[in-house]
Copies of this chain bind each other. A is one copy, B any other.
Amino acid sequence: MTQKYYAQIYVTLRPSVLDPAGVAVRSGIQQMGYDNVEQVRIGKYIELTVNASNLDEAKTQLDRICDLLLANPVIETYRFDLTPVSAEVQTP
């Protein structure tokens, strides 16, 4: 019996890393006439579903996927939320 989990993953630049895309967006916002917007940082948002036998297994697997594939640990950090999806899935 495995459980399906819905994962929301947030990958953001480390605070010490410059974010030229964020600076460009801030400049675009200012050209719209809003000079009250600051500290714009652009990151990635990834949604996926994972089948695992328990929450810990899903967490371990997602940590590995994030470290190796989704985030560059040198300049980025990540965090994720896992939510069990109601329908349980029978393993074949």
A interface list, Cβ under 8 A from B: 2, 10-12, 22, 25-26, 28-29, 32, 34, 36-52, 61, 64-65, 68-70
Contacts and interface: CB of A to CB of B under 8 A. Distances in A.
A65 to B, nearest CB: 6
A45 B37 CA distance: 16
Contacts of A68: 32
For the residues of A in contact with B, the DSSP-based class is strand
Given A29-B69, A69-B28, A47 B2 contact: no
Contacts of A46: 22, 25, 40-43
Nearest to A36: B51
Contact of A44 (B2, B44, B61, B64): B44
A47 B45 CA distance: 12
Contacts of A50: 34, 36-38
